[in-house]
Amino acid sequence: MKSSNPFSMRLRGARALIPVAVLAVLFSGCSKEDQKPPPPPPVEIKAVAAQAKDAPLYVTGIGHVVSMRTVSVRAQITGYLKSIHFAEGALVKEGDRLFTIDPAPFESRVKSADATLKKDRATAEQAGRDFKRYDELLSRKAVSVDDMEQRRTAFEQASQQVAADEASLRDAKINLSYCFIDSPVTGATGYQNVKAGNLVAANQDVLTTINQVQPILVQFAIPEKDLPQVRRYFGKGLSLPVTVKPSSSSKTAGEKFAETGALTVVNNTVDTKTGMILLQAEFANDDLMLWPGQFVDARVTLTAEPDTVMVPSQAIASRQEGQLAFVIKPDNTVELRPVQIGREIGDEVTIASGLKAGEMVAVTGQLKLLPGATVKIVDK
Q: Could you report the per-residue pLDDT of 32-72, keeping only the tens digit for each? A: 555 677 778 888 889 999 999 888 888 999 999 999 999 99
Among 147, 74, 161, smallest CA distance to 113 is for 161
Mean pLDDT of the chain: 86
User: What is the pLDDT, as a whole number, of residue 146?
Assistant: 82
User: What is the pLDDT, as a whole number, of residue 25?
Assistant: 46
User: What is the pLDDT, as a whole number, of residue 12?
Assistant: 52
Q: How confident is the model at residue 282 (pLDDT cuts 50, 70, 90)?
A: very high
- Select the highest-mean-pLDDT range: 137-146, 170-179, 340-349: 170-179
Under DSSP, is residue 131 helix (H, G, I), strand (E, B) or coil? Answer: helix
User: What is the pLDDT, as a whole number, of residue 320?
Assistant: 81
Q: Does domain 45-54+307-379 have CATH number 1.20.1090.10?
A: no
In the chain, CATH 2.40.50.100 sits at 76-209
Q: How many other C-beta atoms are found inside a 10 Å radius of the C-beta of residue 161?
A: 18
What is the CATH T-level fold of the domain 76-209, as seen in this structure? OB fold (Dihydrolipoamide Acetyltransferase, E2P) (2.40.50)
Rounded Cα distance between 260 and 300, Å, is 10
Tell me how far apart the terminal alpha carbons of the chain are, to the nearest angstrom: 89
In the chain, CATH 2.40.420.20 sits at 45-54+307-379
210-234 per-residue burial string, b: 16 or more CB within 10 A, e: under 16: bbbbbebbbbbbbeeebbebbeebb
**pTM assigned to the model:** 0.69
For 59-67+212-305, CATH number out of 3.40.50.620, 3.20.20.70, 2.40.30.170, 3.40.50.300 equals 2.40.30.170
125-153 pLDDT, tens digit per residue, is 998 888 888 878 877 787 788 888 888 89
How confident is the model over 332-346, as a mean pLDDT?
A: 88
Instruction: Name the more confident of 148 and 16.
Output: 148
Q: How confident is the model at residue 295 (pLDDT cuts 50, 70, 90)?
A: very high
- Select the highest-mean-pLDDT range: 84-93, 250-259, 321-330: 84-93
254-284 per-residue burial string, b: 16 or more CB within 10 A, e: under 16: eeeeebebebeebeeeeeeeeebbbbbbbbe
User: What is the pLDDT, as a whole number, of residue 288?
Assistant: 92
User: What is the pLDDT, as a whole number, of residue 11?
Assistant: 42
- Residue 23 pLDDT > 50: no
Q: How confident is the model at residue 17 (pLDDT cuts 50, 70, 90)?
A: very low
Q: Which residues, at least 6 apart from 341, have a Cβ–Cβ distance to it below 8 Å? A: 316, 323, 349, 350, 351, 352
